[in-house]
Amino acid sequence: MQGLIIHPNSSIMIASQRERQHMEQKGILHYIRICQLKRLLYPLVLLVLTGLILFNLPLVEYLHVEQAAPDKPLSGAISNSRAYVRTAASDLYYTGNDYYLDGVLTGHYYYQLTDDYCRFYILRPTAGKPAETYLESRVITGRVVKFDDTTEALVREFAEELEWSTEGLMSISDPYLVNEVVYFPISQGILFVIALILALFSLVGLIYTLILLICPKLSRTYLRLKNYGSASKILQDADAELSSRRLLEEGNTILTPKYLVEFSPDASAVIPLESVLWIFKTSRMKYVLKDRRERMFFTLRIVTIAGDTFIIRDKKKADIDQIENVLTERYPNFFYGYSDEHDKMVRYILRESKRELKANKKNKKTAS
DSSP string, 182-238: TSS-HHHHHHHHHHHHHHHHHHHHHHHHHHHHH-GGGSHHHHHGGGGS-HHHHHHHH
- Environment class of residue 288 by beta-carbon count within 10 Å: exposed (0-12), middle (13-18) or buried (19+)? exposed
- Collapse the DSSP code of 91 into the 3-class scheme (helix H, G, I; strand E, B; otherwise coil) and give the result: strand
pLDDT given at position 119: 92
Q: Are strands 259-262 and 269-272 parallel, antiparallel or unpaired?
A: antiparallel
pLDDT at 167: 85
Query: How far is residue 271's CA from residue 333's CA, in Å, rounded to a whole number?
Result: 16
The set of residues, in sequence order, having a beta carbon less than 8 Å from that of 61 and lying 6+ positions away, is 80, 82, 83, 84, 143
pLDDT tens by residue, the chain, 368 residues: 333 333 433 333 334 445 444 454 578 888 888 888 888 888 999 999 998 888 877 766 676 788 888 888 888 767 665 688 889 999 999 988 898 888 888 899 999 988 789 999 999 988 778 899 999 999 998 888 888 777 778 888 888 887 888 888 888 888 889 999 887 767 777 888 898 899 999 999 999 999 988 999 999 899 999 989 899 999 999 999 988 888 888 778 888 889 999 888 777 889 998 899 999 988 888 887 887 888 888 888 999 998 899 988 888 888 888 888 888 887 778 888 889 999 999 999 999 888 887 877 777 777 66
CA distance 257 to 247: 7
Domain spans in the chain, listed from the N-terminal domain onward? 17-31+219-337, 40-65+185-216, 70-182
Query: What pLDDT shows up at residue 126?
Result: 84
State how far the Cα of 326 lies from the Cα of 5, in Å rounded to an integer: 8
Give the residue among 254, 242, 253 at the shortest CA–CA distance from 313: 253
Question: d(Cα 201, Cα 111) in Å, to the nearest integer?
Answer: 46
Question: In the chain, how long is the greatest CA-to-CA distance?
Answer: 108
The correct CATH number of 17-31+219-337 out of 2.30.29.30, 1.20.120.340, 2.120.10.30, 3.40.50.2300 is 2.30.29.30
Query: Which one, of 68, 213, 202, 217, lies nearest residue 143 by Cα?
Result: 68
* SS3 labels along 156-198: HHHHHHHCCCHHHHHHHECCEEEECCCCCCHHHHHHHHHHHHH
What local confidence, expressed as pLDDT, does residue 79 receive? 62
Other C-beta atoms lying within 10 Å of the C-beta of residue 313: 15
> If we measure between CA atoms, which residue out of 282, 268, 267, 260 comes closest to residue 328?
260
**CA atoms within a 13 Å half-sphere pointing along the CA-CB vector of 210:** 8
Predicted TM-score (pTM) of this structure: 0.60
Give the separation between CA 203 and CA 74, rounded to whole angstroms. 41
What sections of the chain are H helices per DSSP?
17-26, 28-39, 41-56, 59-63, 149-162, 166-172, 186-214, 220-224, 231-244, 317-330, 340-367
